[in-house]
């Protein structure tokens, strides 16, 4: 595959996968997800790769989730080769690849981008990184891994705060809550992530694979919940309520959801 939205490189024992849409704050469209899936599979298949580092281009954003501007313009996240928008499959792939995945959070991790970093095995953040959700503001949600698994990571009260209030949190707060493992100056981010990969490359790959599977086993049922949530989201984004959220974001105004409260 010739990548347009993603960069893939192997550096020693590490595969470095970078979302390369800096002008869109590394927001993903259908093509981005398609390329990320291909890149993660390449890392899975390459016996020289012991760990995967997942990051974003530039220093403004790791990923701010789905490209809401594209959704407002076209009603979807753009074309893909197979016609599917497979963000749910990418989420499961991050969990299932039998190698540790390290999120190197180089800026804003918001919305669907926040979900992707949470699903990685380890997260290291630059000091200027920010974290948060945006779904209810833009007519979207992730009621699968994005909420249920997040609650396992930070606890029920914090997860509900993140999703219901939609505040953004700095890297120090994220570390205190257990959202990230470590915070470093931005110039040290990739070297620190690569150092973790190099350290794990000295360990038994079979042991690491079994450990990752064991950690996942306790929350594996959430994959089914995620499928259910994605099916619901597919229907919801076609409604006027969801379209109002996307349109307001694209037009840089506050969404008007008032009339939809009468339906609930």
Task: Quick: pLDDT tens for 101-141.
Answer: 999 999 999 999 999 999 999 999 999 999 999 999 988 89
pLDDT above 90: residue 150: yes
* Cα–Cα dist 110/6, whole Å: 18
pLDDT above 70: residue 87: yes
* Cα–Cα dist 141/163, whole Å: 9
pLDDT above 80: residue 262: no
Q: What is the pLDDT of residue 264?
A: 63
Banded pLDDT at 234 (limits 50, 70, 90):
confident
Q: What is the pLDDT of residue 58?
A: 97
Banded pLDDT at 237 (limits 50, 70, 90):
confident
Collapsed DSSP state (helix, strand, coil) of residue 48: coil
Collapsed DSSP state (helix, strand, coil) of residue 235: helix
Q: What is the pLDDT of residue 78?
A: 86
pLDDT above 90: residue 62: yes
Stretch among 67-71, 130-134, 152-156, 201-205 having the lowest mean pLDDT: 67-71
Question: Does 144 or 214 have the greater pLDDT score?
Answer: 214
* Cα–Cα dist 185/201, whole Å: 24
Task: Please enumerate in sequence order all residues whose Cβ is within 8 A of that of 35, keeping only pairs 6 or more positions apart, or say none.
Answer: 1, 3, 4, 5, 6
């Amino acid at each position: 595959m010739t990548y347009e939205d993603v960069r893939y490189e192997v550096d020693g024992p590490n595969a470095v996968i970078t979302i390369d849409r800096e002008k869109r704050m590394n927001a993903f469209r259908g093509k981005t997800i398609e390329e990320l899936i291909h890149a993660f599979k390449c890392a899975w298949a390459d016996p020289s790769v012991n760990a995967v580092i997942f990051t974003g281009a530039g220093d403004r954003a790791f990923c701010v989730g789905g490209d809401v501007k594209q959704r407002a313009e076209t009603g979807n996240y753009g074309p893909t080769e197979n016609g599917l928008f497979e963000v749910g499959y990418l989420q499961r792939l991050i969990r299932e690849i039998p190698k540790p995945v390290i999120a190197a959070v180089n800026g804003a991790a918001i919305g669907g981008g926040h979900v992707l970093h949470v699903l990685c095995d380890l997260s290291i953040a630059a000091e200027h990184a920010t974290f948060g959700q945006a779904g209810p503001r833009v007519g979207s949600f992730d009621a699968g891994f994005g909420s249920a698994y997040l609650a396992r990571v930070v606890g029920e009260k914090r997860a509900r705060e993140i999703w219901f209030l939609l505040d953004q949190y700095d890297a120090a707060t994220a570390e205190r809550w257990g959202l990230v493992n470590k915070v470093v100056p931005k110039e040290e981010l990739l070297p620190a992530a690569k150092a973790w990969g190099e350290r794990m490359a000295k360990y038994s790959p079979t042991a690491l694979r079994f450990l990752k599977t064991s950690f996942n086993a306790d929350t594996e049922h959430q994959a089914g919940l995620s499928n259910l949530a994605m099916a619901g989201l597919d229907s919801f984004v076609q409604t006027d309520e969801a379209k109002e959220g996307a349109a307001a974001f694209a037009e840089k105004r506050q969404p008007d959801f008032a009339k939809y409260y009468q339906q609930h």
